[in-house]
Amino acid sequence: MSITRRHFAGLGLSGLAAYRQGLAQQRKRPNILFLLPDQLRAQALGCMGDPNVKSPNIDLLAAQGLLMRNTIANTPVCCPARAIMLTGRYAHSNGMVANDLRLRESEVTIAEILKDAGYRTGFIGKWHLDGGPRLPGFVPPGPRRQGFEWWAANECSHAHFATHYFRDSDRPIPINKFEAEGWADLAIEFLRGSKSDPRPFFLTVQMGPPHDPYKAPPEYSRRYDPKKLILRPNYKPGPRVPDRAQLAEYYAMITAVDDQVGRILAVLDELSLAEDTIVLLSSDHGDMLGSHGQRLKRKPWEESIRVPGILRYPRRIKAGRTSDVLFAHVDFAPTLLSLCGVKPPASMQGTDLSKVITGESTAGPDSAFLQIFGPYHGDGTPGAWRGVRTSRYVYARFKDQPWVLYDLKEDPYEMKNLAADPAAGAIRRSMEAKLSEWMKKTGDSWSVNWSYPVEDNGRLYSGGTFYTVEEYLKSIGQAR
């Protein structure tokens, strides 16, 4: 709600009272601060039991609110994950089935909905939803910003020590420091703007680290001795798999990010905004980091699909709670909207878990739906797969055959694949039925997949801008 001086003078007493009432209603709605470090797996935090990492600020955030231990990336790769979180719709529904496509302007996002509800919306960091060349990465004001009005972002750059951002012109503004600190500086600038803007805000800060390349500022790297790291039991060295030195740098980047999370949260306290601000900290996907001899993401293993899920909202969330309810990316938008008193649109496919978040219920989905639509040779993903994760089991299959089935209760590190075990036949059939149900319910089909390696070697973003894989393949005369 905004008003000019001329309109203000012409309101009259009744109009002025209505205007003030509208402002008061807006101020009753909570703020949202959504923190999204890139490629941060759930297991790599102190509050999740990691014995190596130093993450005191994130751990404190979890202690002050709710730790959702089973937070799941439905499509564990960057662009699809970000689109799912914004739209509350699965990748095949919102169209973002591959990295470096452009999210359709017609999609309805949480930012657009909150903006219409009177929120001040802000985006800081890595956008990665505009398609086309990643650099220089200017996204002009308008529909391609998907409802965000305050802007300090780039499309995608993993130059953690020499990146840049744009505001509303195509002039790049350099960040001459470790990028997490630069993004935090901008977040603090946005938060301080709340002093002069009475609207509630929705701010998301999407930092690049700890995404590879694995290199932290020296003062953080010195805190970790690679030789002293305790490796996960399922770690296997291999070609291109991160070694101890790279693992130490990954942890060091997390600690560097953690310090910036602390800076941002301190400003919320300073401005007396913490009580009425929902803070959600998560990530777009995890990182295999050598578990099962694998690297990066796009896999059905826990290190790839599980991400942090930490919520703090002092006015409504009791401190010190944990929950094992499944909380997937597709659930983020409807849940946050409901917590703000805004009805999620019917087009959103996720579950509103606001009552779970506030402790009024323990009932959540019985499973989470997982999807990858094609191969990526760059990280060893062999092809398209679908999967389902319950509280106890995870199952994934290719179109023509099962791939993995694990009992997470008896085998938390997924060391014994039961997919071909006759003794697990009943479990496999049950999980297969759940998967078929998810595909039918959401309108998914194996026909959405592709086999040509469209994501490898920068193919999708080096030759133009595309909304669909079909557009790209047609442009090069290639079949799926």
Catalytic residue among 47, 79, 92, 128: 128
Residues 452, 374: Cα–Cα separation, whole Å: 8
329 contacts 84 by C-beta, under 8 angstroms: yes
How many angstroms from the chain centroid is the CA of residue 364? 20
Could you tell me how many residues make up the chain? Answer: 480
Residues 251, 40: Cα–Cα separation, whole Å: 10
Is 377 tagged catalytic? Answer: no
DSSP letter, residue 15: H
342 contacts 334 by C-beta, under 8 angstroms: no
Beta pairing partners, 406: 394
**DSSP string spanning 339-397?**
HTT-PPPTT--S---HHHHTTS-----S-EEEEE-S-BGGGTB-S-EEEEE-SSEEEEE
Q: Whose structure tokens read 């030789």?
A: 227
Residues 303, 307: Cα–Cα separation, whole Å: 8
DSSP letter, residue 279: E
Structure tokens at 332: 């983020």
Is 128 tagged catalytic? Answer: yes
Q: At a CB cut-off of 8 Å and minimum separation 6, what does 266 contact?
A: none
Catalytic residues: 78, 128
